[in-house]
Amino acid sequence: MITIEGLTVSFGAVQALRNVSLVAETGKITAVLGANGAGKTTLLRSISGLKEPNTGTIHLDDQSLVHKRTEDIARLGIGHVPEGRGVIGEFTVEENLRLGAMMAKVNLSQGLDEQYALFPVLGERRKQHAAKLSGGERQMLAMARALIAQPSVLLLDEPSLGLAPLVTQQLMHTIQSLCESSDLTVILVEQNATSALRIAHHAVVLHVGKVVANDTASAVSADENLRQYYLGLVE
Amino acid sequence: MDPFLTSRIVTDVLGGLTNGVTYGLVALSLVLIWRSTGILNFAQGAMPMFATYLGFALLSYHFGYWPCVVACVIAALLIGGLTERLLVHRLYGKPEINPIVVMVGFLIVLEAVAAAIWSSTPRSLPSPFSSIHWQLAGKPFALSPFIVYEFATALVVMAAVAGLFRFTNLGLQLRASALAPEVSRLLGVRVGRLLTLGWMLSTVVGVITTILVSANFFSGLTPTVMDGIFAYGFIAAAIGGLESPVGAIVAGVLLGVVNQFVTDYVNQDSVIIIALAILVVSLMIRPSGVFTKSTQRRV
Amino acid sequence: MKLAATSRRVALALGVGVVATVSALVGTSTLRDGVALSLAFDLAFACGTFLSLPGFKWSHPVVFRAALTLLGLDVAIVTTRFLGSSTNFNLSTGAAMSIVLLGLSFLTGASGQISLGNGAFMGVGAFAMAIWANHHATTPIVLTLVIAVACGALVGLLLGLPATRLRGPYLAGMTLAFAVSFTFILSTFSSWTGGDSGLQLPTAAVAPRWLDGFFHAGTSPLITTTLYLTDLSIVVAGVAFFFMANLFASRTGRSMRLIRDNDVAAELVGVSLPRTRVVAFIVSSAYAALGGALLTLIDNSVSPQTYSFALSVTILSLIVIGGIGTISGAVIGGIIYAFSTNVISWITTQTGLNPQGNVASQLNGIIFGGLLILTMLFAPFGIAGAARLLWHRVRSRTSG
């Protein structure tokens, strides 16, 4: 479970997040929605320690994450699939996965088998350089790389970006089944609000760094006033 | 066969290769540091030089050659690690000029301090193998036991580095830290420690090169012994492209051979001038180096 | 209206010119020498500036800079009359070095490029001056200086062209290779450059006949020559600084700073990247050559050992300590250079070191290298930059 209270993050004079509070419950998918610049990516980067907050607290269960180093936070079981996926093009698919498995005390071959079972395409291309993969395949690779370490929390930054609708659908389906089968806490940042809301249990809507909605996914879906925020129709 | 082996051309090629592998090793270290930290280490010759002085200071305590070599390696690890932690660490993310200036300053300080402590008088290091060239049918042959030892050592070092990077988990992490530091940290890779390790490794490669060079050149160990080799190593790295370890080694070896021919057929003074000309020409043709591929880093 | 303005200017210039000539003829004693010479110089320079400006205004920045330069030169020239010969000698080398530093300051600070080879460019100017003087002894000094500068600019062009395409480390390495190979280039052409022992100037530099009266600061010709050379160096430095100040503020200077801060923005604005970079490189090497040529005049000789890679590093250290990208930094660096030998020997005696020993001979390298590292890590903008920061902080505190 991830608990965030009163989080304020600024870049110089610009405030990216203002007094944000939310709870991502264990075993549930929490969607974080909002237009460009709403602060969604900053939120994930703050959790992962890539950006120091000005004030506020971030807790993994009862452990504080603020002021910890990114690599230490990752080793606590937080898997972060960043914006743009961060797949290392010069490495093969398998090397990317090996890298992901390194910090965890998992059996490498077992982990690889599991991920190849989950994403058969990766298994077929295991010796290929990651740069040669398609957008959807890279997304799978990035996720598999995060999953192979058996994290307890999964942070996903716009996984559907640049992907065809069908692929997005499959992706969301995969995320949903993953969450259901293990006790994974998922924070799903998405601009594609519709697909996200379909699989999420809980939803938070950000608007220029502030939380404007924090409710169950169905409630947020139903609320027509909220649509303007995550469809980017408000200044 | 013999006349061929002792002919001028073969002598030059072998002599050139002998120097070339040292340039290649220096170029390799430069590329390693460049790829992992984005810094061009102008002190890449001076740091190992200092470590060599430290290690061989044990000679006066009647330690033999091989224990001294071990001491040199330990000194190299220390110097490389301390330099990264204390000096280089503060330079990440700064404008390009800062690291260049600091490392040049470091080069000067190291050479000055070494000369202050141990004087500029050349010191001869003991050699485990004879430097006397073999004779073939009464004519001198370009190889000696020491030179063969030098080739062998260089090849072992290159193979070890290649093996480390290609086959080990540590090597994977080192490569990842260089290619995508932020992503690596998100995967729990302790990038900071690996960068320090990268510098330590680089200095160790350097110290092995320095030991070989100081023993081979009959002039011995001086504070400035690595200056020329650093210059050629840099030129080789720049020609091969600072991104490519293989390119660096190949360029270094070829440069060594070219230099040898120039020394033989033109004169000693022209060597650096011609090397400079080659550098300028190759950089005009391919400003980012001959062996660099323009691949995207992160996808 | 226009006619009246022009005739006013002409009258002013004429009047000023008359005053200048009269003052020039008057000086015979030490102090009056200096004051008179300075005045004469000032006024002649002022005339030139006034007449060259189409729309002359007192507040025009070029005029302001000219006035500032002249004031500085005034003070300097008068001061040299009171200083001893060895101090003057140091000052003259300091002045020559400050010109070189100015060139590098401009290159690094204004256009963001780095050169580790300015010692070699100094050598180009130094040897150009010596070689020309040996073959054409009758050429006036100023003309020989111009020739030396032209040579420096030419070599700068040769190296600057490939340099434009290179990023920081590659450029640094290329200039390093040039610096290292310079000594070898010199020995390759040893028939021209005099080999290991270098060249002597055929005649010592002396003041032109018509200025002779101004340098009788003492009875010995050595003192007179030193005084003359010191004043000459200072004046040349003043002119060099004046040009640089104007270049800095001009469109070319602004476009160079744009490049330093942001390549992409500069291209969008229409600044031609390679051309501006080459210009910066040429300016820097021309300035270095000027400094080197002056040094040859001052030393009356030139030797290859002076222009080594170590010199390039010293130059870099001095401008980093003084303040990269600033004009005052070059002055500070020049002063440091002028008195560094004295300071170092003072340190040697104070700490009781053996002056012939290992440590003493390396003190130069240890101190300069160490200062270079420390400055770059903790005060990258040098003394001038730190002073400027302090000044801003004081100002904001008193006004805010």
Task: Give this complex's ipTM.
Answer: 0.91
Q: Is A99 an 8 Å CB contact of chain B?
A: yes
What CA–CA distance (Å, rounded) separates B146 from B272? 26
Using CB atoms, which residue from B108, B269, B279 is nearest to C368?
B108
Binary contact (B272, C181; C-beta < 8 A): yes
Look at A11-20, C107-116, C249-258, C328-337 and tell me which has the smallest mean pLDDT. C249-258
User: Which chain A residues are closer than 8 Å to B190 by Cβ?
Assistant: 71
Q: Is the pLDDT of residue A75 over 70?
A: yes
Whether A138 shows a pLDDT value over 80: the answer reads: yes
pLDDT of residue A222: 86
Query: DSSP label at C106?
Result: I
All domains in chain B, ordered by first residue: 2-285 (1.10.3470)
Residues C357-395 have pLDDT tens digits of: 777 777 888 888 899 999 988 888 888 888 888 888 888
- Structure-block tokens of residue B237: 């790295």
Beta-carbon contacts of residue C245 (< 8 Å; ≥ 6 apart): C65, C69, C327
**pLDDT given for residue A46 in this prediction:** 94
| Closest Cβ opposite residue A74 in set B176, B180, B185 | B185
Chain B residue numbers with beta carbons less than 8 Å from the beta carbon of A98 are: 169, 172
Over range C51-58, report the average pLDDT: 56
Q: What would the DSSP string read from start to end of chain B?
A: -HHHHTSHHHHHHHHHHHHHHHHHHHHHHHHHHHHHHS---TTTTHHHHHHHHHHHGGGGGT--HHHHHHHHHHHHHHHHHHIIIIIGGGGTTS-THHHHHHHHHHHHHHHHHHHHHH-SS-BPPP-SS--PPPEETTEE-S--HHHHHHHHHHHHHHHHHHHHHHHSHHHHHHHHHHH-HHHHHHTT--HHHHHHHHHHHHHHHHHHHHHHHHHHSTT-B-TTTTHHHHHHHHHHHHHH-TT-HHHHHHHHHHHHHHHHHHHHHS-TTHHHHHHHHHHHHHHHH-TT-SS-----SB-
- pLDDT: which is higher, C98 or C54: C98
Per-residue confidence (pLDDT) for residue C163, from 0 to 100? 75
CB A180 within 8 A of CB A212: no
DSSP state of C304: G
Residues B83, B106 contacting (CB under 8 angstroms): yes
Interface test with B, best of A41, A83, A102 (most B CBs within 10 A): A102
Q: Is the model more confident about C226 or about A158?
A: A158
Pairing label, strands A55-60, A2-11 = antiparallel
Q: Do chains B and A touch (3 or more CB pairs under 8 A)?
A: yes
Task: Find the Cα–Cα–Cα–Cα dihedral A55, A60, A62, A66, rounded to 10°.
Answer: -30
Put simply, the answer to whether B185 touches A71 (Cβ < 8 Å) is yes
- Distance to chain B for C379, nearest Cα, Å: 11
Asked if residue A124 has pLDDT above 80, the reply is yes
Tokens of C227: 């005084």
Q: Does the distance separating the beta carbons of C359 and B242 come in below 8 Å?
A: no
Residue A221 has pLDDT above 80, yes or no: yes
CATH architecture of A1-77+153-235: 3-Layer(aba) Sandwich (3.40)
Which is it for the CA torsion B1, B6, B12, B17, positive or negative?
positive
Identify the band that residue C29 occupies on the pLDDT scale cut at 50, 70 and 90.
low
Q: Do A131 and B295 touch (CB under 8 A)?
A: yes
> CA B90, CA B75: separation in Å to the nearest integer?
22
User: How far apart are alpha carbons B88 and B92 in whole angstroms?
Assistant: 7
Provide the chain B residues 129-168 that lie in CB contact (below 8 A) with chain C. none
Burial A204-226, CB ≥16 within 10 A → b, else e: bbbbbbebbbbeebeebbeeeeb
Is A130–B299 a contact, with Cβ atoms under 8 angstroms apart?
yes
Helical segments of A37-164, H only:
40-47, 70-75, 93-101, 108-118, 120-124, 135-147
Return the closest-CA partner of residue B28 out of B181, B296, B253, B276: B253
Q: Which of A140-149, B60-69, C253-262 has the lowest mean pLDDT?
A: C253-262
| Crossing angle of helices C221-249 and C327-350, rounded to 10° | 140
For B138, other C-beta atoms within 10 Å of its C-beta total 7
Task: Determine the average pLDDT of the residues in A158-175.
Answer: 89
pLDDT at B298: 26
* C342-to-A27, C337, C347, C364 alpha-carbon distances in Å: 75, 10, 9, 11
- The distance of B169 to chain A (nearest Cα, Å) reads 8
Q: Could you tell me which residues of chain B have a Cβ less than 8 Å from any Cβ in chain A?
A: 169, 172-173, 175-176, 179-180, 182-191, 295-299
pLDDT at position A79 is 93
Q: Does the CB of A45 have a partner CB in chain B at under 8 Å?
A: no
Cα–Cα distance for residue pair B76/C306, rounded to 1 Å: 33
Q: Rounded mean pLDDT of C337-363?
A: 79
pTM of the model: 0.83
3-state secondary structure of A185: strand
- For the CA atoms of A133, A135, A140, A143, the dihedral, rounded to the nearest 10 degrees, stands at 110
Our answer on whether A and C touch (3+ beta-carbon pairs < 8 Å) is: no
Q: Is the pLDDT of residue C271 over 70?
A: no
Q: What dihedral do alpha carbons A64, A68, A71, A76 form, nearest 10°?
A: -20
What one-character DSSP code corresponds to residue A232? T
Per the CB < 8 Å rule, is B187 touching A145? yes
Fold classification of C84-399 is ABC transporter involved in vitamin B12 uptake, BtuC (1.10.3470)
| A48, A98, A149 member nearest B172 (Cβ) | A98
pLDDT digits (tens, 9 = 90+) for C182-199: 888 888 887 777 777 778
Residues near C1 by Cβ (< 8 Å), separated by ≥ 6?
A: none
CB contact under 8 A, C368 and B234: no
Residue-by-residue DSSP string for C160-172? HHHHTT--HHHHH
Tell whether the model's pLDDT for residue A101 goes beyond 80. Answer: yes
Host H or E run for residue C175: helix C168-188
Residue C199: in which H helix or E strand, if any?
A: strand C199-200
Instruction: Give me the half-sphere count of Cα atoms (radius 13 Å) on the Cβ side of residue C260.
Output: 21
Average pLDDT over chain C, rounded to an integer: 78
The C-alpha atoms of residue A78 and residue A69 are separated, in whole angstroms, by 12
CB distance B159 to B174 below 8 Å: no
**Phi, psi torsion values for A76, nearest 5 degrees:** -80, -5
Confidence of residue A231 (pLDDT cuts 50, 70, 90): confident
- Inter-axis angle of helices C118-135 and C273-299, nearest 10: 50
| Of B118 and C46, the one with more pLDDT | B118
Burial of A3 (0-12, 13-18, 19+ CB in 10 A): middle
Which pLDDT score is estimated for A84? 87
Query: In this complex, is the C-beta atom of B96 within 8 Å of any C-beta atom belonging to chain C?
Result: yes
Distance to chain C for B137, nearest Cα, Å: 38
Residue C23 confidence (pLDDT): 57
CA quadruple A195, A197, A201, A206: dihedral, nearest 10 = 130
Partner-chain contact C365 B111, CB within 8 Å: yes
Q: Count other Cβ atoms within 10 Å, centred on residue C297.
A: 28
**Tell me, what DSSP letter sits at residue A31?**
E
Say if the Cβ atoms of B299 and A138 lie within 8 Å.
yes
Q: What pLDDT, on the 0 to 100 scale, is given for residue A91? A: 92
Mean pLDDT value across residues A152-164: 91
A4-8, B256-260, C22-26, C84-88: segment of lowest average pLDDT: C22-26
Q: Is B243 on the interface with C (CB under 8 A)?
A: no
Residue A230: per-residue pLDDT:
75
Contact call for residues A44 and A187 (beta carbons, < 8 A) = yes
Residues comprising chain B, all counted: 299
Q: A interface mutation test: which of B187, B244, B297 has the most A CBs within 10 A?
A: B187
Q: Which of residues 30-49 of B touch C (CB under 8 A)?
A: 34, 40, 42
- All residue ranges of chain B with pLDDT < 70 are 1-2, 216-219, 287-299
Chain C residue numbers with beta carbons less than 8 Å from the beta carbon of B35 are: none
Q: Chain B contacts of A82, Cβ < 8 Å? A: 182-183, 186
Residue with tokens 């009356």: C300
What residue segments make up the domains of chain C, in order of their start? 1-82, 84-399
Those residues whose C-beta lies under 8 Å from the C-beta of residue A58, and which sit 6 or more positions away, are A2, A3, A4, A7, A46, A47, A64, A65, A66
CATH 3.40.50.300 residue ranges for chain A = 1-77+153-235
